């Protein structure tokens, strides 16, 4: 590829800055720099940059190519892969967005050594998610090699990234626009997205919010009878082992319940949960008259356990 001219545009970090107003600012800068339909957007950074850069590319002059260069664990195993782009509204996360597949995704796992520990740990929860939804082997590795995971052992890091990308790529290839199978990638995200929105995208990193969402979804799956006790306990132990997450103090459970009603997976007022039925497979289907009330039964757990944040396992 011949590059005639490159304009570097910096973007403020954090979910709170993933807003349409900032996309407009970036688009104006592209116009001022002479960008046209032959231009390419290169989104180098974490998940916020990947989501925003991909969205910008998808709507600039009705669409230009994007190359994703993810630099955080979360973006390498999730955000940069699959073609979902978008920005947040005050009322909910990623409610404005498009599907726009990148022309390439360039991953270098060595950059993960530069991350703050909290940022790295937040990405680990998306790896755990992939283990729960599709790979008992990945789940087992995260359990048995925790010290190597936290020490960024090269072989373990490469396996986490490669296996996660493989899982997501296979799911997206089968269901690019989330008509069915791709919904399994939302495990932990219904409540996780609500938690991010309820705290104005300022208290939790995305992976941290997903960790609580996975915990809640696991309890819900147990309460409605689709997940056995042994797998429930194994999932909860593994999520807890890679904590802690910020305190939930001051967040009302009822407010979070209301947030789920504006989630993208809520259809005609019915909240659609992605629930594990065992490690490696998930229960994901529209609520029927028989099951519609049953997930809501789980809010009883949510309210009772709300102020018990995870302990740091050390």
Written as one string, the DSSP assignment of 7-67 is -------SGGG-SHHHHHHHHHHHHHTT--TT--EEEEESHHHHHHHHHHHHHGGG---EE
- Residue 182 a catalytic site member: yes
**pLDDT tens-digit series, residues 258-267:** 887 777 666 7
Nearest residue to 310 via CA among 219, 223, 241? 241
Of 121, 168, 219, 232, which one is the catalytic site residue? 168
Mean of the pLDDT values across residues 229-243? 96
The confidence band for 313, taking pLDDT boundaries of 50, 70 and 90, is very low
Of 15, 18, 50, 84, which one is the catalytic site residue? 84
Q: How much is the pLDDT for 139? A: 98
The confidence band for 307, taking pLDDT boundaries of 50, 70 and 90, is very low
Q: How much is the pLDDT for 286? A: 52
What's the angle, vertex CA 14, arms to CA 12 and CA 19, rounded to 5? 75
161, 77 contact by CB (below 8 A): yes
When mean pLDDT is compared across 158-167, 270-279, 284-293, the lowest value belongs to 284-293
Of 50, 88, 94, 186, which one is the catalytic site residue? 186
Of 206, 232, 259, 265, which one is the catalytic site residue? 206
pLDDT of residue 314 exceeding 70, the answer is no
Nearest residue to 126 via CA among 190, 55, 70, 77? 77
**pLDDT tens-digit series, residues 26-68:** 999 999 999 999 999 999 999 999 999 999 999 999 999 999 9
- Residue 193 a catalytic site member: yes
Walk me through the domains of the chain, giving residue ranges and CATH numbers.
15-110 (3.40.50.1970), 116-305 (1.20.1090.10)
The confidence band for 283, taking pLDDT boundaries of 50, 70 and 90, is confident
Sign (positive or negative) of CA dihedral 165, 167, 168, 169: positive
Nearest residue to 271 via CA among 248, 303, 250, 297? 297
Of 100, 183, 189, 232, which one is the catalytic site residue? 189
- Residue 265 a catalytic site member: no
**pLDDT tens-digit series, residues 135-186:** 999 999 999 999 999 999 999 999 999 999 999 999 999 999 887 888 899 9
The confidence band for 271, taking pLDDT boundaries of 50, 70 and 90, is confident
Place of tokens 């910008």: 56
Q: Please tell me the pTM assigned to this model.
A: 0.89
Of 15, 126, 163, 208, which one is the catalytic site residue? 126
CA atoms within 13 A on the CB side of 63: 8
**The length of the chain, given as a count of residues:** 314
The confidence band for 128, taking pLDDT boundaries of 50, 70 and 90, is very high
Q: How much is the pLDDT for 241? A: 97
- Residue 166 a catalytic site member: no
Of 93, 94, 129, 178, which one is the catalytic site residue? 178
d(CA 104, CA 126): 21
Q: How much is the pLDDT for 260? A: 79
When mean pLDDT is compared across 113-117, 221-225, 301-305, the lowest value belongs to 301-305
248, 306 contact by CB (below 8 A): yes
Q: What kind and span of H or E run contains 164? A: helix 154-174
Q: How much is the pLDDT for 67? A: 98
- Residue 130 a catalytic site member: no
Of 182, 183, 272, 278, which one is the catalytic site residue? 182
Of 121, 193, 259, 310, which one is the catalytic site residue? 193
- Residue 88 a catalytic site member: no
- Residue 15 a catalytic site member: no
- Residue 126 a catalytic site member: yes
């Amino acid at each position: 590829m011949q590059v005639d001219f490159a304009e570097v545009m910096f973007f403020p970090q954090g979910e709170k800055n993933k807003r349409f107003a900032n996309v407009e600012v970036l688009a104006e800068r592209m116009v001022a720099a002479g960008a046209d339909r032959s231009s390419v957007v290169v989104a180098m950074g974490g998940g916020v940059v990947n989501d925003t850069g991909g969205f910008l590319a998808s709507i600039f002059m009705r669409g230009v190519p994007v190359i994703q260069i993810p630099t955080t664990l979360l973006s390498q195993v999730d955000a940069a892969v699959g073609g979902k782009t978008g920005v947040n509204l005050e009322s909910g996360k990623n409610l404005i967005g498009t599907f726009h597949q990148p022309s390439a995704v360039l991953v270098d796992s060595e950059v993960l050594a530069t991350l703050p520990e909290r940022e790295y740990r937040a990405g680990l929860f998306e790896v755990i998610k992939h283990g729960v939804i599709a790979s008992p082997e990945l789940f087992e590795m995260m359990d048995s090699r925790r010290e190597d995971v936290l020490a960024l052992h090269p072989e373990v890091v490469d396996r986490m990234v490669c296996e996660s990308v493989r899982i997501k790529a296979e799911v997206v290839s089968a269901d690019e626009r989330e008509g069915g199978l791709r919904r399994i990638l939302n495990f932990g995200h219904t409540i996780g997205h609500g938690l991010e929105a309820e705290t104005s995208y300022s208290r939790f990193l995305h992976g941290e919010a997903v960790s609580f969402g996975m915990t809640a979804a696991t309890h819900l799956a147990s309460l409605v009878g689709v997940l056995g006790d042994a797998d429930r306990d194994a999932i909860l132990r593994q999520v807890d082992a890679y904590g802690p997450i910020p305190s939930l103090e001051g967040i009302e459970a009822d407010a979070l319940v209301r947030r789920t009603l504006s989630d993208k997976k809520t259809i005609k007022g019915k909240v659609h949960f992605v629930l594990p039925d065992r490690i490696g497979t998930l229960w994901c289907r529209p609520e029927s008259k028989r099951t519609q009330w049953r997930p809501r039964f789980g809010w009883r757990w949510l309210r009772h356990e709300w102020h018990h944040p995870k302990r740091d396992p050390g």
